[in-house]
């Protein structure tokens, strides 16, 4: 089955292949580093990671750029409140973002680029737009004149003809002649950081950074541009206007948008105060894998309602899969293979892949895996499962984990190493052999305190991390 994505630009599910060199040129809108990101933000960033993995699994190479917005109103306000430069202030939250991304096992884009490292290129692009007659200046700020770009609205499928000046559709507080016009460059304000790169003293508007950095690293036409659904309008619409007015070429072939993480019917957001950071959830004892699983389990174009119950179900699901894997690796099955089991493994793998090809239907992909786990567990209980079937079942799990990546427990920094666990288990077995049961029990207890659970089976000792 070909890989298909729903394209916001055409409102159709389309077959995807990159335009050249088997390489996907992809741009995703990154974080504004003014505070810790919440798990709503991380739903979107997890979607980017899944997208990377789905594309890689198809054999495509990736050239992926993500921006870090490190100059913006909230950043300036917060940095000033902390008596820090915006560089110092954003460093803290950029580092936190990277740590959280690593904890969630999010693949790093090939280029992570900061807005403040590209101010000169932005000023040049604005100059280019000015020479094409697409801008005007007012009180030292420069605006994009939307009336020069007749296709405005083609991504959000909005008809803007009825909107008149004064009907505010953008959040900008600067003066402009048409309500839709947006700031490319904001005039310097007293006490705020500013740059003077040819557009007059000031700082860039938010939208220009993405168009400029995408074109700089990936060329004039991207294969995929992605972001959260709230960015469709005005941010992505503005990115298209800037880029296409400048180059005369289509800015991106595919536009993918992920839906929100919700809390009781409302978007999780800083302003509503209904949010959790990853750090909040780790402090409550939830592992990064639980959060990752929960965020990945609902297809990206469906809203996901966040509950602690949902997080607990994610933990249970992971536990089930880990136990299943342990059983496959440690139980002794009769030799040979069972055709029926082999056929089931092939069916599960095909259903898993087909679901992902279908606009990344992760819920359906999961359903295929769990059906397989249930059926094969039953077959094991009935003695119908052979050692070659275990190898095929492990392949199914590996396929699942190459996308979901939750089977390996995160190692806490004070965790005991595998080799030490094995050594203690060997010592416990020796103690038991020499009938020193007290010593054997003490070792079991010590391991338990270090979050290692032992299980004595007829095939020997199995262990796992709690
Ligand atoms: P920001 O750091 O505010 O620029 O947002 C970073 C990303 O998080 C953007 O792509 C937003 O679309 C996304 N985002 C913000 N809130 C949510 C939410 N509740 N659910 C999913 N994505 C979100
Ligand atoms: Zn952007």
Dihedral, 374, 376, 377, 382 alpha carbons, nearest 10: 130
What are the residue ranges spanned by the domains of the chain? 4-258, 267-404, 418-465
Q: How many CB atoms lie within 10 A of CB 179?
A: 16
Q: How far apart are CA 287 and CA 10, in angstroms?
A: 39
pLDDT for res 166: 42
Q: Is the CB of 231 under 6 A from ligand 1?
A: yes
CATH code, residues 4-258: 3.40.50.620
Q: How far apart are CA 214 and CA 28, in angstroms?
A: 9
The residue nearest atom 10 of ligand 1, judged by CA position, is 228
| Bridge partners for 24 per DSSP | 62
Residues of the chain with pLDDT below 70 are: 161-177, 413-414
CA of 86 to the centre of ligand 2 (A): 20
User: 460: which DSSP letter?
Assistant: E
pLDDT for res 176: 67
CA of 41 to the centre of ligand 1 (A): 4
The DSSP code sequence of 154-186 is TTTT---TT--TTS--S---S--SSTT-EEEEE
42-57 per-position pLDDT tens digit: 999 999 999 999 999 9
pLDDT for res 178: 76
Q: How far apart are CA 419 and CA 46, in angstroms?
A: 32
Question: Which ligand does the CA of 31 lie closest to?
Answer: 1
Element (H, E) at 339: helix 339-357
pLDDT for res 163: 55
What is the 3-state secondary structure of 20-68?
Answer: ECCEEEEEECCCECCCCCEHHHHHHHHHHHHHHHHHHHCCCEEEEEEEE
Q: How many CB atoms lie within 10 A of CB 311?
A: 19
CATH class of 267-404: mainly alpha
CB 387 within 8 A of CB 336: yes
CB 198 within 8 A of CB 228: no
pLDDT for res 175: 56
Chain-centre distance for alpha carbon 355 = 19
CA of 38 to the centre of ligand 1 (A): 8
pLDDT for res 165: 45
């Amino acid at each position: 089955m070909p890989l298909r994505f729903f394209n916001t630009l055409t409102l159709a599910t389309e077959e995807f292949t990159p335009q050249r060199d088997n390489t996907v040129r992809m741009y995703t809108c990154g974080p504004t580093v003014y505070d810790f990101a919440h798990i709503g933000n991380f739903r979107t960033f997890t979607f980017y990671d899944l997208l990377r993995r789905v594309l890689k699994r198809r054999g495509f190479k990736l050239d992926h750029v993500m921006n870090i917005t490190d100059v913006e109103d909230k950043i300036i306000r917060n940095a000033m409140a902390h008596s820090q430069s915006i560089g110092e202030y954003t460093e803290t939250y950029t580092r936190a973002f990277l740590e959280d991304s690593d904890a969630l096992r999010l693949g790093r884009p090939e280029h992570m680029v900061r807005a403040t490292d590209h101010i000169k290129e932005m000023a040049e692009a604005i100059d280019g737009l000015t020479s094409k007659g697409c801008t005007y200046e007012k009180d030292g700020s420069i605006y994009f004149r939307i009336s020069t770009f007749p296709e405005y609205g083609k991504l959000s499928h909005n008809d803007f003809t009825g909107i008149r000046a004064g009907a505010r559709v953008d959040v900008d507080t600067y003066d402009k002649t048409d309500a839709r016009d947006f700031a490319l460059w904001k005039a310097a304000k007293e006490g705020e950081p500013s740059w003077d790169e040819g557009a007059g003293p000031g700082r860039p508007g938010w939208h220009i950074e993405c168009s400029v950095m995408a074109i700089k690293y990936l060329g004039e036409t991207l294969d995929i541009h992605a972001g959260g659904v709230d960015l469709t309008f005005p941010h992505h619409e503005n990115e298209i206007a800037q880029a296409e007015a400048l180059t005369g070429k289509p800015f991106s072939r595919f536009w993918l948008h992920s839906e929100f993480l919700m809390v009781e019917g409302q978007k999780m957001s800083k302003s509503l105060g209904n949010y959790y950071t990853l750090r909040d959830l780790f402090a409550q004892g939830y592992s990064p894998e639980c959060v990752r699983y929960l965020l990945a389990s609902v297809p990206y174009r469906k809203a996901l309602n966040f509950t602690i119950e949902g997080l607990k179900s994610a933990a249970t699901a992971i536990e089930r899969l880990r136990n299943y894997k342990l059983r496959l690796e440690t139980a002794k099955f009769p030799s040979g293979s069972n055709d029926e089991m082999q056929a089931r493994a092939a069916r599960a793998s095909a259903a898993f892949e087909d679901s992902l090809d279908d606009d990344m239907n992760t819920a359906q992909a999961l359903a295929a895996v769990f059906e397989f786990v249930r059926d094969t567990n039953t077959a094991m209980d009935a003695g119908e499962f052979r050692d070659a079937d275990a190898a095929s079942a492990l392949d199914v799990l590996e396929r699942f984990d190459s996308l979901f990546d939750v089977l390996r427990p995160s190692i806490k920094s004070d965790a005991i190493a595998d080799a030490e666990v094995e050594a203690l288990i060997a010592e416990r077995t020796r103690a038991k052999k020499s009938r020193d049961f007290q010593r054997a029990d003490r070792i079991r207890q010590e391991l338990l305190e270090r979050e290692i659970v032992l299980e004595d089976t007829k095939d020997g000792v199995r262990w796992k991390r709690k």
